[in-house]
């Protein structure tokens, strides 16, 4: 099993932090399906801005789960202060984002933009590690661009600075989410350090997870987009790694998970915001088994009960066909 500081993870597949997606309801759901760890949505390091409702929701915690909070920024002192504040609010692990390719993050010289400045990376990591007593982890890409692929150097630097584990998305910042993930590069990074390494990128089924672990030698896999609308992917990966199989998700289970998730979103965000967020999750849950007609109808609904009734009705009407698709 993988250890991050004093924490032993119960499984080798963990949930990637994703802004606008890995909120508390989704993290809880992935944990129920066997995720070894979940990481919160990214928080900006300027704690003066944490008074907003958005930040409060991102800081929401589950007292029954290991809590990893991700922070992002480019000022070492501010990052250290943010880490200390997160620890004081109950974070068990501090995760540093140096992998986000979003322009609004990179233009502040944060996220994956930091990979161009190893000296600044070292200063941030050293100050954050010194500021907290909990483990600090790091998420990176393989480099800024194919011409500046320095992930191995950053990984070694991170280990020297006291980082407890590393997650590597197998693309450079310039590649964003295009092309195939560079598992060879992740393998080079893994073999250059002794801390746990999670391979991330394009892992959307259990067989792929096993293949990526074999290819990279990574300790675990980090699942991002592959879990959207498919939280049961963690159950499938865990079974495959254990040398067993698990029953495929049924249409009834998919319906029940959807409805429980949508209800949790309505409660967590309030009905108005919950309705909007539920729309994208509904689309992900049904992406492989329906066309856009139901999605368009669902997106026009303005009432939480109406959303739940629509999902229930959809499965009642199409249950037999959905059963075949789910299998």
Alpha helices in 172-250 (DSSP H): 183-192, 206-216, 233-241
| Residue 111 confidence (pLDDT) | 63
Residue with tokens 């990637």: 16
Give CA–CA dist 171/30, Å, rounded.
25
Instruction: Please indicate whether residue 100 is annotated as part of the active site.
Output: yes
Overall pTM > 0.85: yes
Helix (H) / strand (E) containing 15: strand 13-15
| Residue 177 confidence (pLDDT) | 67
| Residue 110 confidence (pLDDT) | 60
pLDDT over threshold 70, residue 114: yes
Q: Convert the pLDDT of each residue in 252-282 to its tens digit.
A: 999 999 999 999 999 999 999 999 999 999 9
- Catalytic residue from among 86, 100, 161, 282: 100
| C-beta separation of 6 from 250 below 8 A | no
Give CA–CA dist 151/163, Å, rounded.
14
pLDDT over threshold 80, residue 173: no
C-alpha distance from residue 147 to each of 175, 184, 277 (Å)? 11, 16, 38
Helix (H) / strand (E) containing 94: strand 93-98
The whole-number average pLDDT for the span 134-149 is 84
Of the pLDDT bands very low, low, confident and very high (cuts 50, 70, 90), residue 60 is confident
Per the model's pLDDT, the better-predicted residue between 307 and 108 turns out to be: 307
Q: Convert the pLDDT of each residue in 17-47 to its tens digit.
A: 998 999 999 999 999 999 999 999 988 887 7
The whole-number average pLDDT for the span 185-213 is 96
Question: What angle do the packed helices 271-285 and 304-326 form, to 10 degrees?
Answer: 10
Query: Lowest-pLDDT range, 51-65, 127-141, 216-230?
Result: 51-65
| Residue 101 confidence (pLDDT) | 54
The whole-number average pLDDT for the span 140-159 is 85
Question: Rounded to 5 degrees, what angle do the CA atoms 185, 187, 190 make?
Answer: 115
| Residue 106 confidence (pLDDT) | 44
| Residue 87 confidence (pLDDT) | 95
């Amino acid at each position: 099993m993988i250890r991050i500081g004093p924490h032993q993870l119960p499984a080798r597949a963990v949930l990637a932090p994703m802004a606008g997606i890995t909120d508390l309801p989704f993290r809880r759901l992935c944990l129920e399906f066997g995720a070894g760890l979940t990481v919160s949505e990214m928080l900006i390091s300027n704690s003066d801005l944490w008074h907003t409702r958005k930040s409060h929701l991102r800081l929401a915690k589950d007292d029954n789960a290991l809590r990893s909070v991700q922070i992002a920024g480019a000022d070492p002192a501010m990052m250290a202060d943010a880490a200390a504040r997160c620890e004081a609010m109950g974070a068990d692990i501090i995760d540093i984002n140096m992998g986000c390719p979003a322009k609004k993050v990179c233009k502040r010289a944060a996220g994956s933009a930091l990979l161009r400045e190893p000296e600044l990376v070292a200063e941030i990591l050293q100050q954050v590690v010194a500021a907290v007593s909990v483990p600090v982890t790091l998420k990176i890409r393989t480099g800024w661009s194919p011409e500046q692929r320095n992930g191995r150097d950053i990984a070694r630097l991170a280990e020297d600075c006291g980082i407890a584990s590393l997650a590597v998305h197998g693309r450079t910042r310039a590649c964003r989410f295009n092309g195939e993930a560079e598992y060879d590069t992740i393998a080079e990074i893994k073999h250059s350090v002794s801390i746990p390494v999670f391979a991330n990128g394009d892992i959307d089924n259990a067989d792929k997870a096993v293949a990526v672990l074999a290819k990279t030698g990574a300790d675990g896999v980090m699942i991002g987009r592959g879990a959207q609308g498919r939280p049961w992917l963690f159950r499938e990966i865990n079974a495959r790694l254990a040398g067993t199989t698990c029953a495929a998700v049924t249409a009834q289970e998919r319906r029940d998970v959807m409805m429980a998730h949508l209800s949790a979103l309505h409660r967590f965000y309030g009905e108005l915001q919950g309705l909007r967020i539920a729309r994208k999750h509904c689309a992900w849950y049904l992406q492989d088994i329906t066309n856009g007609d139901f999605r368009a109808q669902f997106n026009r609904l303005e009432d939480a009960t109406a959303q739940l009734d629509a999902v229930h009705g959809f499965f009642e009407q199409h249950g037999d066909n959905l059963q075949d698709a789910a299998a």
